[in-house]
Structure 1
Amino acid sequence: MTAALAAHVVVVRPGFRLDATLDAAPGEIVAIMGPSGAGKSTLLATIAGLERLSGGSVSIGDDMVASKGRHTRPEKRGVALLGQDPRLFPHLSARENIAFGPRARGTDRTTARADADEWLWRVGLDGSGDRRPGQLSGGQQQRVAIARALAAAPRLLLLDEPLTSLDTETAGEIRGVLQTQLAAAGTTTVFATHDAVDAVAVASRLAILEAGSLTQTGPVRDVLGAPASRFAASVAGVNRVVGEAHRGMWRAIGVRPGVVLAGTDAAGERASAESADGSPLAAVFRADAVRLSSAAESSWTGELRLAESEAPTSGAWIARVERLEQTLGGVRVHTAEPPIAVDLPTEAVALLHLRPGTPVRLRVEAADVRLQPM
């Protein structure tokens, strides 16, 4: 069966290079995640034909639509691109916006309008066909944009973080619309997002894009279950610390000796059984598995001096608070050297007087650590 999308996208600009290979089977939904500036929008824009290739090629179905010597215009590719801005025609009603694509393909006005009303019902806007975009909320406009994109029956749908500008409740509702309607229409989709919930709820496969390169790809569950980079680990809500096997234990790499020596009996057994000394291993553990307590000294230099005079404790180390991040369940505390995320209740953060620069002590138990060969 011909792949719905087969793309090797190379785009070179001053200070930036994107070199990524991405494919999708007919009807497949592939999510792309990566930090800001990784190249997600550039990748989608190039597939859509809004950017030109520096190298590589893009095929949609049986058609080669782009190579170094070929560039099919965007409107000839059979691709729909939807971003944060719905980009609805302000002078047209919701119904006419949705009917625009079919009308452009030659569908008669009566049929196109009837189909548009069907799509409005599918996205939960039954009875809103006569309203113009200015009379709709942001979430309603995005629903119309989704209906317009799918009504055009594209060969490929590209979603560039369409839920980012919406509030949490509205984003959840639109996510449900996408999940239901993409499955019903069988539309091949590439979905760039910053939210792991989008990948879990909508996609079957996840690709991680970092610094212009795909660093990991596979079924969503596999990628989140065994993240291959610190960014992928943060997406999965876990910590990933690079280290090595050392005398049947595990220890972090590039951290001041005596400050971090993380190793547990269970982890040590696995490391000694599977890895020789010096073999690279990544320790993976959940953010809510880390125990955080106050440091013995109020200053980092004082705590550092004290820690260096103590015998290392397996699974325990000192760190400094780097930043605090609000979550739905409380606060995520980010520490440095190595970067660690710790989930705490809001009252615990207040009780510990945590703020950037505060020294703290961290601990993780044996049963909560998984070691992954690198």
Structure 2
Amino acid sequence: MSDADLALSIDQEVPPLRVEHRFAASRTTAVVGPNGAGKTTMLRVIAGLLRGDGTTRISLGDEVFRDGRVFVPPHRRGVALLSQDARLFPHLTVAENVAFAPSAQRMSRAEVRERVARWLAAAEVADLAGRKPDELSGGQAQRVAIARALAAEPRILLLDEPFRALDVDVASRLRALLRGLLADHGRTTIMVTHDPVDALGLAEDIVVLDQGRIVESGSTREVLTNPGSRFSASLSGINLFVGRIGEADAVVDDRGNAVVGTPGDDAPADGFAAETPAAATFSPRAVAVYLDAPHGSPRTALQATVRDVVPRGDHAVVNTDVADQVVAAEVTWAAVAELGLVTGLDVVLVVKASEVRVSAVAER
């Protein structure tokens, strides 16, 4: 394993990609952006599957993978790439697939067996060791692919939307599995995703790519809860309220603001422990706006200040500040006029608890 940063400098015309960034050692970075932004191209250049032009420079600490004179082939970089397609070798069993990289590293048979057993168990597929890929479900195949990638014990792990082809419940369980596997910080991980829950759940840092350029980067929490770029502000069109688990499945921020919801499919069977870092995700349509606290006792009522009001089709999106996080509400234009919603106005937001999903997020 390496504790050196991965430094990347790419300036090429085809496909267009102008990126200069340093990925922190032993951390997970999410890469998000619109389709065609250059996310997968960047991963393929890092992996060595695309050479890049002569100005490209990739280094891991003092070790150069690519520059004007050097090109280290993919198999010598210590990089593993996992995509949404498991791409298991069809003629090999599950155990043989996982053993492929350790065997290629010329380890002894005993060492290979130990590593295969360890990663099959970690990916929770030990009982599938003797099966062929065509006998596996999509979720099982992706678990095996994760085990195969990590059995190589790569210094850099690249994940290209690994959950995109899976059902939501299967993806949630795999997210929980991968969160545990990445928690040891034994490698530098870069993950392309369209899902903000994946980004928050797995990555400490985030990079926003648009038209081949980095338009925003930093802490995942800060970028997604207080976005500075148009894309990160519209990412999946949902609210992300980040804090820690409090009472009654509530996510509570540092100021005591709380959003109540229902644990997602990635929650442990006995629920999340108190103080677990977590995020509440919910649609702007689940948020109602009031000038004063409504009658009754809504489970989630947040004091907020209007940041701006922007059109969305025949409705308006009211972006508000709740302490240091942004929460959006979708309302009718009639409501905007009736309530007099303008920048700087103090309001109360009520969120339907039945439409809030609570998920664990990466520890900061």
Instruction: Please state which band the TM-score falls in when normalised by the shorter chain.
Output: 0.5 to 0.7
Q: State the match for 1:26 in structure 2.
A: 25
1:19 positional shift: 0.6
Would the aligned equivalents of 1:316 and 1:362 in 2 still touch at CA under 8 Å? Answer: no
Letter in 2 for 1:287: P
Q: What secondary structure does 1:232 align onto?
A: helix
- The answer to whether structure 1 residue 174 and structure 2 residue 174 are counterparts is yes
Would the aligned equivalents of 1:93 and 1:129 in 2 still touch at CA under 8 Å? Answer: yes
Letter in 1 for 2:284: A
Name the CA distance, whole Å, in 2 between partners of 1:56 and 1:146. 29
Q: State the match for 2:13 in structure 1.
A: 12
1:45 positional shift: 0.4
* TM-score normalised by L of structure 1: 0.66
Number of equivalent positions: 272
Percent of matched pairs sharing the same residue: 40
Change in 2 beyond 3 A, CA 1:318/1:137: closer
Name the CA distance, whole Å, in 2 between partners of 1:151 and 1:101. 7
* TM-score normalised by L of structure 2: 0.67
Name the CA distance, whole Å, in 1 between partners of 2:136 and 2:153. 24
Q: State the match for 1:210 in structure 2.
A: 210
Name the CA distance, whole Å, in 2 between partners of 1:85 and 1:315. 41
- The answer to whether structure 1 residue 3 and structure 2 residue 15 are counterparts is no
Change in 2 beyond 3 A, CA 1:26/1:137: same
Name the CA distance, whole Å, in 1 between partners of 2:189 and 2:83. 13
Q: State the match for 2:298 in structure 1.
A: none
- The answer to whether structure 1 residue 367 and structure 2 residue 364 are counterparts is no
CA offsets 1:99-122 (integer angstroms, 9 cap, x no match): 111110011223312321221111
CA offsets 1:40-95 (integer angstroms, 9 cap, x no match): 00000001111122223100243111123332111111110111111111111111
Change in 2 beyond 3 A, CA 1:94/1:215: same
- The answer to whether structure 1 residue 128 and structure 2 residue 125 are counterparts is no
Would the aligned equivalents of 2:194 and 2:236 in 1 still touch at CA under 8 Å? Answer: no
- Give matches, 1:101-116, under 5 Å: 101-116=101-116
Change in 2 beyond 3 A, CA 1:185/1:131: farther
Q: State the match for 2:270 in structure 1.
A: none
Change in 2 beyond 3 A, CA 1:151/1:320: closer
Match of 1:321 among 313, 317, 332: 313
CA offsets 1:12-48 (integer angstroms, 9 cap, x no match): 11xx521112222221111111011100000000011
Would the aligned equivalents of 2:3 and 2:26 in 1 still touch at CA under 8 Å? Answer: no
Change in 2 beyond 3 A, CA 1:110/1:233: same
Q: State the match for 2:227 in structure 1.
A: 227
1:290 positional shift: 6.8
- Give matches, 1:1-374, under 5 Å: 3-13=4-14, 16-54=15-53, 55-184=55-184, 186-235=186-235, 237=237, 287-288=284-285, 289=287, 321=313, 343=330, 361=334, 363=336, 364=341, 366-367=345-346
Q: Which runs of 5+ in 2 are unaligned?
A: 240-282, 290-305, 318-327, 349-364
1:318 positional shift: 9.5
Pair member with larger Rg? 1
Would the aligned equivalents of 2:29 and 2:189 in 1 still touch at CA under 8 Å? Answer: yes
Change in 2 beyond 3 A, CA 1:146/1:316: closer
Name the CA distance, whole Å, in 2 between partners of 1:361 and 1:12. 48
Name the CA distance, whole Å, in 2 between partners of 1:315 and 1:361. 19
Change in 2 beyond 3 A, CA 1:320/1:212: closer
Higher helix share: 1
Name the CA distance, whole Å, in 2 between partners of 1:132 and 1:320. 49
Change in 2 beyond 3 A, CA 1:63/1:135: same
Q: Which runs of 5+ in 1 are unaligned?
A: 240-285, 292-313, 323-332, 336-340, 345-358, 370-374
Would the aligned equivalents of 1:33 and 1:194 in 2 still touch at CA under 8 Å? Answer: yes
Which stretch of structure 1 is more off in the superposition, 130-139 or 55-64?
A: 55-64
Would the aligned equivalents of 1:53 and 1:67 in 2 still touch at CA under 8 Å? Answer: no
Which stretch of structure 1 is more off in the superposition, 183-192 or 213-222?
A: 183-192
Which stretch of structure 1 is more off in the superposition, 105-114 or 194-203?
A: 105-114
Q: What secondary structure does 1:174 align onto?
A: helix
1:197 positional shift: 0.7
Letter in 2 for 1:73: P
CA offsets 1:209-228 (integer angstroms, 9 cap, x no match): 11111111111111113211
Name the CA distance, whole Å, in 1 between partners of 2:308 and 2:236. 23
Q: State the match for 2:264 in structure 1.
A: none
Would the aligned equivalents of 1:26 and 1:187 in 2 still touch at CA under 8 Å? Answer: yes
Change in 2 beyond 3 A, CA 1:334/1:145: farther
Change in 2 beyond 3 A, CA 1:151/1:185: farther
